[in-house]
A and B are shown apart, each in its own frame.
Chain A
Amino acid sequence: MIAYSLLIEAVQVLILLFAAPLFAGWVKTVKCRMQGRTYAGVFQPYRDIARLFSKEVILAENASWIFRITPYIVFGVTVIIGGIIPLISTDLPFAATADVIALVMLFAIIRFFTALAGMDIGTAFGGMGSSREMTIASLAEPAMLMAIFTVSLAGKSTSLTHMVQVMAQGELLLRPSLAFALLAFIMVHLTETGRVPVDNPSTHLELTMIHEAMILEYSGRHLALMEWASMMKLFIFSALGIALFCPWGIAPAEDFPGMLVAIVLLAAKLAVLGVILVLIETGLAKMRLFRLTEYLGSAFLLATLGMLSFFILE
């Protein structure tokens, strides 16, 4: 019983570690195809990570231990988050460690340390990235929590596994509050994972980059960990969206065949989600930094509307 749930926990963490680059590669491939460019295949992220791991680390002279420990902390916290959210089964011994609010705050740790690392070297780029990242995050976090609160009011819980169970057992009915919350969540998802229209993961132009500016000074295995962690973050946010809004198929406790189905379903859902992400990204242009206030403001408004409709209609 305990052994079984520990096994599931281990399987889940392994899926996270090794499927996250695949998902990132899938999104990149679809995007290239959509924009009529040639692509290197879905396995390119693995090759990138492997290449970075084998390179030596080049460190600025005045880098402190904050700069050196940050990749490990970012990686560690990301893996912990991956162990908490239900990907394939709700039978996770580690899931009770943090509810959704704590989960959002765990993401905040990643951001906090990355921003500090950005300021550690003392270049203008790093500071710029940190400043922008923290500004955007402070607007995105309320919208994110508001969207999550709407779902958790419906599920009468902030525990993720419990919310999944309640949602998955209930019949498939259209709830207006969840529709609003979903829209808000997608907008925040694009913000938090640093994608168009908020940030552009493939740019290195100083005026536009946010996340890349903070990690500009990293190299070698440090950069590999940071890149891997950000791929996992994309994976986790997508999986979190699935768990909150489309949990059907996530296996209940002690259901081994159900779990196998769950893995296949997860892959299918993620593949669809990846295409949706690319459609959004291809259809939009990157926004000016100060237009983001309106963008995230409307995400917050949508989430609030979701909560309003929960209290009025349900």
Chain B
Amino acid sequence: MTPFDIAMASLFLMLSPVILVPCCARYRSFAIHLSFSLTAAASLAAVIAGALAVQYGTITSAVVEMGLPDLPFHLRLDPLAGFFLCVIGLLSFFVSLYSIGYVKGFPAGRSVVRFVVFFALFITGMLLVVLADDAFFFLIAWELMAASSYFLVMFEDEKAENRRSAYLYLVIAHVGAIAILLSFGVMAGLANGFASFQGYTFAAMRATAYPVGWATAAFLLSFFGFAAKAGVIPLHVWLPEAHPVAPSNVSALMSGVMLKTSIYGIVRITFDFLKVFPWWWGGIVLVLGLVSAVLGVLYALMQHDLKRLLAYHSVENIGIILIGLGLAMIFTSFQLPALAALALIAALYHTLNHAMFKGLLFMGAGAVLHATHERNMEEMGGLIHRMPWTAVFFLVGCISIAALPPFNGFVSEWLTFQALLLSPALHRPILSLLIPLGAALLALTGALAAACFVKAFGVTFLGHWRGHHPIQKVQEVDATMRGGMLLAAAVCFFLGILPTHVITWMDILAERLVGGKLAASAGAYGWLWLTPIARERASYSGFNVFLGIAVVVVVAWLLLHARKADIRRVPIWDCGFEKLTPRMQYTATSFAMPIRRIFGFLFRIREETDVVPPVRHPAYPERLRYRLRVRDRFWYWLYQPVGEAAFFTARKIGNLQQGRIQVYLIYSFVTIIVLLVFLG
């Protein structure tokens, strides 16, 4: 079997629950086990297909005789598609496993069939997006992905909040889709002059050399479209609305892999179709990446809804990926293939890493939600005692996303840093100077992300329980959910300590897309050492870091415990106050207060304090209510004016509707006269 056959088998397996589950909907538990086992198997097949395609660099295409008369569906599996197939499949596998336990916890009234059908269609849509080889089929797959995820966001549709978020998501997804469609139109027109539909195949687009002006138009349109889907600032507003309200397993897939299909789109169009471009394209991508990274993490810090916080971190991480892509584009336009390879690998490695740790974190947030029925961190605390396994997995996710060694997030951010520091090779003083400033912004992002995840983990899992119902009701989640998280955590760890293997595996992508190789230099000193350019330039060994820390920790522990191990447990020292309550702990809001004050100018902050004046004792007010509202400024700058303008126009046009037949007859009459004058 070739990788392509396995990919096809995976698609059919993935679609099978759509037909099978409605037939056995009556047996709820059986239906859940069956459907998620099928999607898990299908995802695994997709991983194998993708991994093999990247490993051996095979390119297979096929034509399915469906679709338009002159434009059948084209499918193609090449290393780039294979890599994304792998990313999507790997997370879908973990999430499918996790979903068995998660969906069982749905209230009895909720339809499992509806969920499973759209879940399977959603993953199928993502797989088809990367496999499609013509514009028409690509957009069908793109819409399949967008529409099925819309229904998944809408899944708990009894809440007005969810319907509103899903609608916003649908609107922005389609504004983006139109831009992508137009971009394909530009490229197809240049490829074949609109004579036939053949210009819409990717093969034709790949073979064409584009004039700079039109190529720029195509690039800008497609970048706008994909950026809207990826949640690049300022097109990000749907993301923190839609991701939190979807069921958590869907949020994991949306944040972890759906956003990555846009990265795929950008790489495909820029490096595969357009190929030659001026450096400032990369500059745009780089700047938007930096803005998204910094603002994304700052907005995340202000959240106290756990899932919303994670959603804003997706904006941040998409930004980090775009930094790598932008650099790869700049280096490519200056004919520096080796450096472009480093930047591209950094971006793609971060794509894989982000899929793993963000999926893990959303699964962890889902487990917390499942156990506490609460998304607001201010109502949590001390969960590490009730949910020890979830706490460990969530901690692994936090360490990975905060880019701390030896886990995976660090490796890709480190590669991005190395790429940023290579700017002197460009021999353009302005670029050489501005790009290292980007490195400083990336450092700021990393440090703020660490702060944010200290807050997320600390407020949720540590300290005392702040909730209203007793903590005894909170139970650890079941084995399948733990299994899904365990596997994702393990992958985060291994991607962190064995980066040279991964880079060797995916080196073919860099070779095919930018013509440079990284593996020869990156793995020159064996699998232990990651040396992206040369050993003298920079080196890192995640395995050594892990081993070193582990050895010292174990030795120190043994030395100290061999002597004596007694620990006396006592109540908390309350400074003699004796009335400590869980409400006196630092909260998510108070934790972020210094940062809110420092970077406050970026937000729209409304703070209100109501004091009910003292009655019983002159020194103590009766009650004090503090209200804080932090909003995204972009909403007020960009979206609200557009929304208001749309309503205004609609109202003005609405004035035409008088509801009287005479007025409508006059409209028809005037129209006929106008047509006769101009066309007659």
Contact = CB atoms under 8 A, between A and B. Distances in A.
A98 B571 contact: no
Given A139-B598, A141-B444, A105 B418 contact: no
Interface string B371-412: 000000000011011000000000100010011110000100
A33 B515 CA distance: 64
B451 A134 contact: yes
Contacts of B468: none
Contacts of A140: 447
B64 interface: no
Contact of A146 (B440, B455, B462, B560): B440
Interface string A301-314: 00110011001100
Interface string A151-164: 01100111100100
B552 A159 contact: no
A109 B404 contact: yes
Contacts, number: 250
Contacts of B641: none
B366 to A, nearest CB: 22
A137 B538 contact: no
Contacts of B448: 138
Contacts of A185: none
A243 B436 CA distance: 22
B418 A75 contact: no
Contacts of B421: 149, 152-153, 158
Interface string B542-554: 0011001111110
A62 B566 CA distance: 17
Contacts of A307: 433, 436-437
Contacts of A43: none
B630 to A, nearest CB: 16
Nearest to B596: A135
B572 A105 contact: no
B260 to A, nearest CB: 24
A59 B539 contact: no
A144 to B, nearest CB: 8
Interface string B515-543: 00000000001000101000111111100
A112 B457 CA distance: 11
A121 B568 CA distance: 15
A120 B439 contact: no
Contact of B429 (A59, A106, A311): A311
A304 B437 contact: yes
A122 B594 contact: no
Contact of B447 (A94, A108, A131, A153): A108
B586 A79 contact: no
Contact of B586 (A62, A131, A137): A131
Nearest to B298: A138
Contact of A99 (B443, B540, B580): B540
Contacts of B429: 311-312
A158 B572 contact: no
B432 interface: yes
B63 interface: no
Main secondary structure of the interface of A (DSSP, over half): helix
User: For A79, A128, A138, A146, which residue has the most chain B Cβ atoms within 10 angstroms?
Assistant: A138
A57 B433 contact: no
A301 B446 CA distance: 19
Interface in A98-122: 98-99, 101-102, 104-106, 108-109, 111-112, 115-116, 118-122
Contacts of A162: 536-537
B585 A123 contact: yes
Contacts of A101: 414, 417-418, 538
A293 B481 CA distance: 43
B562 to A, nearest CB: 12
B212 interface: no
Nearest to B423: A153
Contact of B539 (A96, A116, A138, A142): A96
A102 B560 CA distance: 29
B441 A142 contact: yes
B557 interface: yes
Contacts of A79: 548, 552
Given A59-B569, A102-B405, A221-B560, A80 B382 contact: no
Given A142-B440, A156-B537, A124 B584 contact: yes
B594 A137 contact: no
Interface in B43-90: none
B582 A66 contact: no
Contact of B446 (A98, A139, A141): A141
A97 to B, nearest CB: 4
A285 to B, nearest CB: 20
B454 A76 contact: no
Contacts of A98: 405, 540-541, 545
24 contacts: A56-B567, A66-B384, A72-B553, A77-B549, A79-B548, A96-B535, A97-B540, A97-B544, A98-B545, A101-B418, A101-B538, A102-B405, A102-B410, A120-B462, A122-B463, A131-B594, A134-B454, A134-B455, A141-B443, A142-B441, A156-B537, A157-B538, A221-B560, A307-B436
Given A58-B570, A99-B538, A138-B450, 9 more contacts: A58-B568, A61-B571, A76-B551, A115-B458, A123-B584, A127-B586, A140-B447, A142-B447, A159-B537
Interface of B: 381-382, 384-385, 395, 399, 402-405, 410, 414, 417-418, 421, 424, 429, 432-433, 436-437, 439-441, 443-444, 446-448, 450-451, 453-455, 457-459, 462-464, 525, 529, 531, 535-541, 544-545, 548-553, 556-557, 560, 564, 566-573, 580, 582, 584-586, 590-595, 597-598
Q: Nearest 8 pairs between A and B by C-beta?
A: A127-B586, A122-B463, A119-B458, A134-B451, A76-B552, A138-B447, A141-B447, A135-B594
